[in-house]
Amino acid sequence: MYWKNGKLVPQQYLDDADPTLVPMVYEVFRVFRHKPLFLDEHMDRMYRSIALMEFDEPFTRTQMEAHLNELLDTEPDRIGNIKIRLSWWPEPILEIGYIPHRYPTISEQTEGVVVTTFHAVRNTPNIKLWNAALRARTNQELRDKQVYEVLLVNEDGNITEGGRTNHFYVKDSVLYTAPVVSVLPGVTRLKAIDLAEKLSIPLVEKYLHESEVGSVDEMFTTGTSAGICPIASVNGIRLPEQKPVTMRLKEAYDQLVEQILGPNNYGW
């Protein structure tokens, strides 16, 4: 099922976005048996995106959450990712539905995922705005390279963010991440930053140049599907197997998720 402008549509997944319905803001979050993960934070960011676009709000937050609950009530035991997307032209359209997802495997969560770099930038990185052309290009790169994620590289050669994720790296026990002005402030990214502070892990906002990947001690990616997940290699460059900072943060994040959703048997 998915919800579209007042009615439930009997379909397993939300259709691909109509490329003519632009601009379109959206959010994606995990759901486990009627429990959305970090829903407040995702809704905060959605309305922040709307404000930054300087558009009106055709649906209130209360209305959106009520429609979400209508959808959740139809399949109370379902596990997966839900997307909320809102477009304005030619008229306001609100759609809420499950989308296909790819969670890291158990081995990827311990050993790390394989990623590659991709030269592209988002023009409005602080707004979660649908970019069909960029998504098509990054999806093709994922298929061609058979990797979990692509890391976007700007015109200066600096890694900014992932196609669907944010990234962090570690050098000499110091945690680094790209400056927030150049990335989407991911919900999981913010959770990782909060946890680093609680664990007294020093954090610096600083770019990693693509040419310096081989010099880092650890790297990990953060996102709705990824959670906090170590990176094993970038562009074929293997990173050190020991990931003490990453695994401390991952353990703390997994515990945080369990506090919200209950014992970890969610299928990810």
- pLDDT of 16: 81
- Distance separating alpha carbons of residues 105 and 202, to the nearest angstrom: 29
Specify the CATH number for the domain of residue 59: 3.30.470.10
- pLDDT of 5: 84
Q: Is residue 136 over pLDDT 60? A: yes
- Distance separating alpha carbons of residues 100 and 96, to the nearest angstrom: 13
If asked whether residues 138 and 222 sit together in one domain, one would say: yes
Q: Is residue 49 part of a domain?
A: yes
Boundary of a domain, candidates 51, 77, 99 = 99
pLDDT average, residue stretch 175-188: 98
Confidence category of residue 265, pLDDT binned at 50, 70, 90 = low
- Ranked by mean pLDDT, the top range of 12-16, 70-74, 77-81, 157-161 is 157-161
pLDDT average, residue stretch 240-248: 98
User: What is the overall mean pLDDT for the chain?
Assistant: 94
Confidence category of residue 166, pLDDT binned at 50, 70, 90 = very high
With contact defined as beta carbons under 8 Å apart, do 3 and 72 qualify? no
Domain hosting 240: range is 106-261
Boundary of a domain, candidates 46, 64, 99 = 99
- Return the H-helix or E-strand segment holding 207: none
Q: Is residue 191 over pLDDT 60? A: yes
- Number of domains forming the structure of the chain: 2
Confidence category of residue 44, pLDDT binned at 50, 70, 90 = very high
- pLDDT of 201: 99
- pLDDT of 17: 77
Boundary of a domain, candidates 76, 99, 122 = 99
| 38 conformational bin, left if phi > 0, alpha if psi -120 to 50, beta if neither | left
Q: Is residue 250 part of a domain?
A: yes
Q: Is residue 266 part of a domain?
A: no
pLDDT average, residue stretch 241-250: 98
- Distance separating alpha carbons of residues 177 and 71, to the nearest angstrom: 36
Confidence category of residue 82, pLDDT binned at 50, 70, 90 = very high
- pLDDT of 160: 98
Q: Is residue 268 over pLDDT 70? A: no
- Distance separating alpha carbons of residues 10 and 22, to the nearest angstrom: 25
Specify the CATH number for the domain of residue 250: 3.20.10.10
If asked whether residues 161 and 232 sit together in one domain, one would say: yes
| pTM of the full structure | 0.94
